[in-house]
Structure 1
Amino acid sequence: MILVLGLLLWSFAHLFVAVMPAQRQQLSERLGVGPYRGLFSLVIVGALVLIVMGWKQFPAGQLYIPPAGLRHATMSLMPIALILFVASQFPSDIRRMIRHPQMVAVKTWALAHLLSNGEWRSVVLFGGLMAWAVAETIFINRRDGARVKPEPTGVGRVLITVVVGILLTGVVMYIHPWIAGIPLLPH
């Protein structure tokens, strides 16, 4: 169950920051900011390696067979997920509408993939990451308290975010065969 170990490591590393901010601060001060960030990055890379290895080694088996039409839902949700991911990285009015665009992006990405992938390893991976994103959102909200909306940035920033998200969707569709082994574009 290397896949589960990778998901647990990923979740613990991220939840540590949200659930135990005082301990995270103490560790950062004891190690130094740079070494702490390096250690955190190393743990995340290790988790990703375990997730990829676990994905490849996970025994075959279907939990459910998704209807073929749900592939269209997946393809419709993915640009939304990637636009939200871009919105989490750059200021735009999307952040005024959605408190945690990155967490909503992860949940949207996970749901999209659960709609069109019914094998056990997909349910474990995408379901696990969705569960992490839900928990992360709850704990971040608890840690940070009441929401303070950012200042408006204007429609131009939203348009840039949408365009970059759509371009990123095209890139992901193109490289999908290499990262997931499943081509999305016709040959």
Structure 2
Amino acid sequence: MESLTAATALFLGMHWIVSGSPLRNVVVARTGEGPFKAGFALIIAISIAWMGWAYAHAPYVETWGTAAGLKPLSWVLMALAFVLLAASATAKNPTTLGSVPPDQVQARGIVRITRHGGLFGLGLWGLSHFLVNGDWASHLLFGSFAFQGLIAPLNLDRKYRQRFGAPWESFARQTSYLPFVAILQGRNRLVPGEINWLAVAVGLGLFGLTLAYHQAWFGASAL
């Protein structure tokens, strides 16, 4: 369990202590933006691989056990996660690694629903697994992804507000952190024709495949 704890600490620490704090500017000033992003991506990849290996070798220490009754809810969350991840991958969005300035983006398609579709997809994926897997190793692994996906958007909003100023505020007024909030508040509207339905279909297809082959691929049935 110590190895998994260290791996999750590296994963979260890189996001919150290094990239998500003023320390980022200190490091970037010395290394440059490109080398920082490359080094950050490499360390995150290493931490995720380490987390997977440590989880596979962690002892099983039960909390609430396998919550079979929550599996239908888990399936719904997983389907939403796949759709959000697939649809956001093709959307032009300043929250995607800050690659596009907010004054060059119109809130369209999935971005009308949430400006953090990819992170929310990750968070829902983690949450869906956290709910049905009641053991400490699963809490560490899936809880880390749930926390990063569902809470990190708040920190990203803060960073981009500082970086872009008024253009970010204008973009943020058209969108929302929580899905559909901007639409419900009348700050935006749902336009089905703008949504990449092919990406949605791909996401649902990948969800179906994962559900069907979860036992073969990951050693545990999702059904």
Task: Give the alignment's TM-score, normalised by structure 1.
Answer: 0.81
The residue that corresponds to 1:19 in the other structure is 21
Per the alignment, in what secondary structure is the counterpart of residue 140 of structure 1? helix
Counterpart CA distance in 2 for 1:154 and 1:167 is: 20
Counterpart CA distance in 1 for 2:156 and 2:33 is: 21
Q: 1:144 aligns with which of 135, 154, 160?
A: 160
Aligned in 2, Cα 1:132/1:174: closer, same or farther, shift over 3 Å?
A: same
Per the alignment, in what secondary structure is the counterpart of residue 13 of structure 2? helix
CA deviation vs aligned residue, 1:94-115 (integer Å, no higher than 9, x gap)? 2111121122212211221122
The residue that corresponds to 2:112 in the other structure is 96
The residue that corresponds to 2:145 in the other structure is 129
Q: Relative to total residues, which structure has the larger helix share, 1 or 2?
A: 1
CA deviation vs aligned residue, 1:119-171 (integer Å, no higher than 9, x gap)? 22111211222223344122112222341437987525342231121122134
Counterpart CA distance in 1 for 2:79 and 2:131 is: 15
Counterpart CA distance in 2 for 1:67 and 1:177 is: 17
Further displaced range: 154-163 or 71-80: 154-163
Structure 2 residue 209 is the aligned partner of structure 1 residue 157: no
Kindly indicate whether the alpha-carbon contact (under 8 Å) linking 1:19 and 1:140 is maintained by their aligned counterparts in 2: no
Aligned in 2, Cα 1:30/1:161: closer, same or farther, shift over 3 Å?
A: same
Amino acid at match of 2:174: K
Counterpart CA distance in 2 for 1:7 and 1:57 is: 14
CA deviation vs aligned residue, 1:5-50 (integer Å, no higher than 9, x gap)? 1112111222232333xx4355345334443333112201220122
Q: Which runs of 5+ in 2 are unaligned?
A: 92-107, 162-168, 176-187
Kindly indicate whether the alpha-carbon contact (under 8 Å) linking 1:2 and 1:53 is maintained by their aligned counterparts in 2: no
User: How many residues of Structure 1 are paired with residues of Structure 2 in the alignment?
Assistant: 183
Identity %: 25
Aligned in 2, Cα 1:57/1:67: closer, same or farther, shift over 3 Å?
A: closer
Q: 1:108 aligns with which of 103, 124, 129?
A: 124
Task: Give the alignment's TM-score, normalised by structure 2.
Answer: 0.69
Aligned in 2, Cα 1:112/1:6: closer, same or farther, shift over 3 Å?
A: same
Q: Which runs of 5+ in 1 are unaligned?
A: none
Kindly indicate whether the alpha-carbon contact (under 8 Å) linking 2:109 and 2:194 is maintained by their aligned counterparts in 1: no
Aligned in 2, Cα 1:171/1:33: closer, same or farther, shift over 3 Å?
A: farther
Aligned in 2, Cα 1:63/1:165: closer, same or farther, shift over 3 Å?
A: same
Aligned in 2, Cα 1:173/1:38: closer, same or farther, shift over 3 Å?
A: same
Task: Report runs of 4+ in structure 1 exceeding 6 Å deviation.
Answer: 150-153
Kindly indicate whether the alpha-carbon contact (under 8 Å) linking 1:83 and 1:165 is maintained by their aligned counterparts in 2: yes
